[in-house]
Structure formats: C-alpha cells, structure tokens
Amino acid sequence: MRPPPPYGFQAFEGADALAEALAETVAGHLDKAVGSNGRATLAVSGGTTPARFFRQLSQRPIDWERVTVTLVDERLVPPTAARSNERLVRETLLRDRAEQARFVGLWSGTADPAAAATAADERLADCPLPLDAVVLGMGLDGHTASYFPDAENLDTLLDPAARARVLPVRAQSAGEDRLTLTLPLVARARFLALHIEGEAKRTVFEQAMQAGTASPAPIRAVFERATTPPTVYWAPSEDKKP
Ligand SMILES: O=C(O)[C@H](O)[C@@H](O)[C@H](O)[C@H](O)COP(=O)(O)O
C-alpha cells in the first residue's frame, strides 16, 4: 500500500480568490528566479480552467522581459484554432505587463505528431532546467498535461528517466493529437501547482491520492515523482466564464 505523496492543498471560496492567490505565488517564484538567475521559465497548461488565473498573472509587476513562458502541452492545431493552448495564452496571459515575456510555443507548423514533437523539443533545447514554475490542470479521468490514461505511449510519457523534453501523444480520449512536456520536466519544477475547480475534480484528485492505488492515475504519477511537494489550488466553482 503506497502512502500518498506529500503535497499542499489550498482551498479558496471561489475562482477569483484562487486566481489572485495563484497569480501572486507564481509571480513571486518568477521574480525570485529572475533575481537569482537573471531569468525565469514558466510552463502553463491550457483548457478551460486557467484563463482567470492568466489574466491575474498578466498584471503582476515583475520583470517579464526576463521570463520565458511555454506550454505544458498543446493540441496539434494552429494557434488560430479555438482549441489552441497557444491562442489561449496569447489572448489571456501575454498581455498587459506580461506582454513583454518571451513565448516559446509547442506548435511549429506541422500537424505530424512525430515531426512536431522533434521541432518542439529543439525549440526548448536551450530552455534552462529545472523549470521555475509549472502550473498543471487535471481532467476528470485523472490526466494532467497530456498524460491521458488511454494514451498509446503512456509508459513513455510517465517515464521519470525520459530524455526527450517533448513527446507526441495519441489518445482516443484526447480529441486531437497532442504534444506534451515529459514527466521529468514537469516533476522537477522548482514550484509545481495543480489548479483544479469544482467538486468533481476534487473527488477525482483525492481518490487518486488515496493509499494503495494499484494503477495510479497520471496526476498521482506526477505527484509521486515531484522533487518539490506540489501545491493544489482548488475552488468549488466551475464557472467557465472567465
Ligand atoms: O490542453 C489541455 O487540455 C490541458 O493542458 C489539460 O491537461 C488540461 O489542464 C486538463 O484537460 C483540464 O482541462 P480543463 O481546464 O478544460 O478542465
């Protein structure tokens, strides 16, 4: 019976309070990294949850010119597509003060998964590791990043010794083909947050963290490998209208 991995859990009264707190914390970690290393790297997830947090973070007065923003994962669609995570980040995070940040997306123009992964891996080759801050989301199937439970290459995606930085993902439940940062990049982040909203996701998360989980959900696999105990940011509302 494997005991649950260590993590923090911060519950907020609503999505706005969560967004403000998470933005403040992430900005603090980026500011500290810029102060000590002269630069900082943030990797964020897409989906429907983070827009409110992104808008809050975009207003934080840090030295965004020294911050690189990248994606934890991407749908293999152009940045003009509604489902593009790059589009979401450009519209809600890379604005206001954060407009000055450097953005390294995972879409490179090809929808061929293997070629796209190679190109994204090369784009991130000079990205200093470990990442200073990573913000994950989670689906109701316990996936995080694009580590979908039905992914054809899930073992490779969750390999703690993976050498690649970006891998392609094909999973029936994912919708379109994906690209995702590999587990080592995510798990070794100096600050790792999981941003989830709604009772259903809290239940899924808590079940995934219960001891004795025979086949751990991807979110648990990440938490078990995290070099710094992650922090969960949770609010009860699932209001998707940011
Ligand atoms: O590209 C993506 O979809 C994300 O990176 C993914 O990991 C997301 O965080 C979860 O699927 C939750 O998505 P929602 O916020 O839409 O529930």
Q: What is the CATH number of the domain that holds 105?
A: 3.40.50.1360
* 234 token code pair: 């949770």
Residue nearest to ligand 1 atom 6, measured at CA? 145
Residue 2 confidence (pLDDT): 75
Residue 237 confidence (pLDDT): 79
Taking all residues of the chain, what is their mean pLDDT, rounded to a whole number? 95
- Taking each helix axis from N to C end, the angle separating 51-58 and 15-37, rounded to the nearest 10 degrees, works out to 50
Most informative mutation of 83, 93, 141, 144 for ligand 1 (most atoms within 8 A of CB): 144
Residue 3 confidence (pLDDT): 82
Percent of the chain with pLDDT over 70: 96
Residue 129 confidence (pLDDT): 92
pLDDT of 179 > 80? The answer is: yes
What residue type is assigned to position 238 of the chain?
A: E
**Is residue 23 in some structural domain?**
yes
- Domain range for 24 is 8-235
**Is residue 64 in some structural domain?**
yes
Query: How far apart, in whole angstroms, are the C-alpha atoms of residue 17 and residue 41?
Result: 24
Please give the span between the terminal C-alpha atoms of the chain, in angstroms, as a whole number.
40
ipTM over 0.90: yes
What residue type is assigned to position 152 of the chain?
A: E
Query: How far apart, in whole angstroms, are the C-alpha atoms of residue 24 and residue 27?
Result: 5
pLDDT in tens, 74-95: 999 999 999 999 999 999 999 9
Cα 85 to middle of ligand 1, angstroms: 9
Most informative mutation of 45, 93, 240, 241 for ligand 1 (most atoms within 8 A of CB): 45
Cα 146 to middle of ligand 1, angstroms: 8
**Is residue 202 in some structural domain?**
yes
Report which ligand 1 atom has the smallest distance to the Cα of 137: 9
Across-strand partners of 151? 171
> In total, how many domains does the chain have?
1
**Is residue 70 in some structural domain?**
yes
Of 88, 110, 95, the C-alpha closest to 57 is 95
Report which ligand 1 atom has the smallest distance to the Cα of 136: 9
**Is residue 241 in some structural domain?**
no
**Is residue 143 in some structural domain?**
yes
